[in-house]
Amino acid sequence: MSAKKQFLFIDFEFTMPEKNVRTREFFPEIIEAGVVSVIDNKIQSQFSAYVRPARFPILSDRCKSFLHITQEQIDAGMPFADLVRYFQELGRNQENTIVTWGNMDMKVLRHNCEASRLPFPLRGKEIDLSMEYKRFFGDQNQTGLWKAVQEYGKEGTGKHHRALDDALTTYNIFKLVEKDKRYLEKPKPTTIGDRIDFSKLLNEFV
């Protein structure tokens, strides 16, 4: 049985240090995951979970305030190893394309796997949709996820900085960009000159 083409739209929220407090050991850890699986242009599954950080389990006040996440929610979250197992199962026997807004999500997942001595669970092509969007529209700067949606005259799904809502919003922009690409790739309509061989036509009158 041949593998199906699966698009995985992924968004993570991470821990962050207090403002102006630098700890040499600190690195961002995933504390919320949102995943949308799409096959044949249909959503197959949606996943949303809080994740317990392994190295720095206590959230900074800045992190809680910025993401509107409580320590209790994170304490009750799934272990990072379970998130890795979820991705392994989700991507198995599929031809995966992983789509994120920006390159931080995959960087942090890779680093978290290394820090926990776990294998990176996702195999497949990776697309940074923010760069595709930037190239497609010729923007000088990378655009924020929700600003990009508004530029399309749409609204984001749910709340910004909620992982599943951001993953769904990424999927919605992906569909809009792909539609625009197909529109631009359409061949120009043929002119009357293309349809009629004028040399043959003239010969008929000679």
What contacts 24+ positions apart, CB below 8 Å, involve 20-28?
21/60, 25/55, 26/56, 27/55, 27/111, 27/115, 28/108, 28/111
User: For residue 134, what pLDDT is reported?
Assistant: 81
Q: Cα–Cα distance between 110 and 119 in angstroms, integer?
A: 9
Question: Domain holding 20: CATH number?
Answer: 3.30.420.10
Dihedral (CA of 104, 110, 113, 115) sign: negative
126 tagged catalytic: no
Give, rounded to a whole angstrom, the gap between the first and last alpha carbons of the chain: 63
Count: domains in the chain? 1
Catalytic residue from among 95, 126, 151, 161:
161
What confidence score (pLDDT) does residue 197 get?
A: 55
161 is catalytic: yes
**Residue 36 sits in which domain range?**
4-205
Which tokens go with 1?
């049985």
Q: What is the pTM of this model?
A: 0.82
- Look at residue 101 in the predicted model and tell me its pLDDT: 94
CA quadruple 53, 58, 61, 64: dihedral, nearest 10:
40
In this prediction, residue 2 carries a pLDDT of: 61
Nearest C-alpha neighbor of 173 from the set 90, 103, 102: 102
Give the DSSP letter of residue 22.
-
Element (H, E) at 99: strand 94-100
**pLDDT digits (tens), the chain, 206 positions:** 566 899 999 999 999 998 877 777 899 999 999 999 999 999 999 999 999 999 999 999 999 999 999 999 999 999 999 999 999 999 998 999 999 999 999 999 999 999 999 999 999 999 999 988 887 776 656 667 767 767 766 665 656 668 999 999 999 989 988 887 776 665 555 555 555 555 555 555 54
The residue behind tokens 């990378």 is: 142
Q: What are phi and psi of 97, to 5 degrees?
A: -125, 120
Among 13, 111, 151, 204, the one annotated catalytic: 13
Distance CA 75, CA 71 (A): 6
If one counts every other C-beta atom within 10 angstroms of the C-beta of residue 124, the result is 15
Distance CA 104, CA 27 (A): 12
Q: Encode pLDDT of 48-88 as tens digits.
A: 999 999 999 999 999 999 999 999 999 999 999 999 999 99
